[in-house]
Amino acid sequence: MVALACLGLLLFGMYLQHVEDLEPCPMCIVQRYALILVGLVAALGAAFKGTAARNTAVALTGLAAAFGAFVAARQSWLQWYPPEVLSCGRDFFGMIESFPLRRAIPMIFRGSGDCSAVDWTFLGLTIANWSFLWFMAFAALALVLLLRRRGA
């Protein structure tokens, strides 16, 4: 179910990008990668039969979801409290190609004018807000599953 939810969210992101013409910012792209990782690990975990393998997959799913929630929370913060100087800067791939990874990653999390822009809302929440809620739901589900298996 988690893998299917991730697929649905990714397809909706593609719809927003290609139909509604909302270009993803660097932090949005990182969240997409985290969502892909959550979905892939969840799907692999569902395919495993052994308890240890499934527990490992659930734990990795939870970690990937927690990372995605962190990125979405940071972007939400940037949207609520935009930086004084807005500069769109380079795109995600431009940063990775132009700078060493140790310099590019902090630049992504610092955000830019693109990352603090609010281009779409639903029920008063931005894409980053919804992303955070979904990642937190996946992380909470992983935690519940691990605790339930530990107690059983």
Give the Cα separation of 74 and 67 in Å (integer). 11
Phi and psi angles of residue 112, each rounded to the nearest 5 degrees, phi first: -150, -175
For the whole model, what pTM was predicted? 0.75
Give the Cα separation of 45 and 47 in Å (integer). 5
**Which residue in this structure is represented by tokens 């980053």?**
128
Phi and psi angles of residue 122, each rounded to the nearest 5 degrees, phi first: -140, 125
pLDDT of res. 72: 93
Burial class (CB in 10 A: 0-12, 13-18, 19+), 44: middle
Around Cβ 133, how many Cβ atoms within 10 Å? 13
pLDDT of res. 119: 83
Give the Cα separation of 44 and 130 in Å (integer). 25
Phi and psi angles of residue 83, each rounded to the nearest 5 degrees, phi first: -65, 155
pLDDT of res. 88: 45
pLDDT in tens, the chain (152 residues): 999 999 999 999 889 888 988 888 888 888 999 999 999 999 998 888 888 888 899 999 999 999 999 999 998 888 888 776 554 445 555 665 666 666 666 655 554 447 777 787 789 888 899 999 999 999 999 999 988 877 65
Phi and psi angles of residue 91, each rounded to the nearest 5 degrees, phi first: -80, 175
